[in-house]
Structure 1
Amino acid sequence: MQRQALVVRGGWDGHMPVETTELFIPFLRDHGFDVRVEEGTAVYADQAVMDATDLVVQVNTMSTIADEEFAGLQRAVLAGTGMAGWHGGIADSYRANADYLHMIGGQFAHHAGKHPDERVGEQSDNYIPYTVHMTALGREHPITQGIGDFDLVSEQYWVLSDEYDDVLATTTQEARSWDAWNRPVTSPAIWTRQWGKGRIFVSAPGHRIEIVESQPVRTIIERGLLWAAR
């Protein structure tokens, strides 16, 4: 039987939810998935759809989710539906829902910007060079095996998390003279999380289409989609 993937997208347009998810839909179809696309979270409350879904791909930044929608999503994940996403589309989706944050295992808190004198009022004010460092687990995990540390110029997510995450890669926010913090802070950049019978995959890198289509981010996300799926 063909596996079912559900793409749920929306929220802030700056994260290009349509363009970034469209990049991976052919990949999912090539790997045997029937793909359904929804421009919002109402589908999460449809038990028949969720029961049949093997993978949820969510890119829905700074949005809201109704109680019955989250209940449907979590029930599906607990029963074995996989969930995957990148950047704010999964790690900054529903700030007011503590149960969602608990399930996903990480919440965006901050991205360090350029020096104040260099800022021009655009998204690029927050694009800085940084390194994604593989952990010992990441060097062995099927999602990131064979991929070394890599550099990006993009938003460097400071993620609030807990020790239940299986962290495949980290990144370290440096403490610069104009920052509020006074020592470097390391947080997850790529992680997985088991929730009931369901697998969750999150890549913090993925701000816009040029990041998700670049290597090795694209390969990591593709592997993460397949790994998370039931």
Structure 2
Amino acid sequence: MTRVLLATANTKKLLELRRILAETMAGGAGAALRPHRIELVGLADFPDYPEVPETGLTFGENALLKAREGCRRTGLPTVADDSGLAVDALGGMPGVFSARWSGRHGDDRANLELVLAQLADVPDEHLGASFVCAAALVLPGGKEHLVDGRQPGRLVRTPRGEGGFGYDPIFLGDGQTRTNAELSAEEKDAVSHRGKALRSLAKLAAKVVPPPA
């Protein structure tokens, strides 16, 4: 069995990453992986693993930083992503600062409320936004792969839904009548930025992740 590290300590994101990658690898796109099954492990399997600062100025830079460090420290093929919300009226922000927009990393409610406060005087027709994700795969030996995914849409002023995380309760994807937080996990995976990026990465992994020795 080949182990692949998903370099995140965010438990909600880890569940989402595992679900998307496992579904894709188990399907037609991942048929090449069936002879050597893949085990997806997270940072919790490495209790002494230090936090990796996200010092990049783009989602791609941060995804590669985390994937490179994971591969270097564990010797495993490593998948990492960086993602966030890009609001048109805020010049693409919060962008790479999405998880710490309010100054407290991972405080979803505070981040969401700050974005809404900053848009209080912006007309509804100018609340366009996109979720953006860059996903990286780094292999032992130094080969690197980077893909991205985007979900365009707009923001709503009142949070709706109990699912998902982050800015999901105020994001309405193009063609949707429900926010991402009102979608089932399967519905969200089908349209989300992370779902798109990771499905592309899983198809790539089916070709490039080596079988166990």
TM-score normalised to structure 2 length: 0.37
Structure with greater strand percent: 1
Structure with greater helix percent: 2
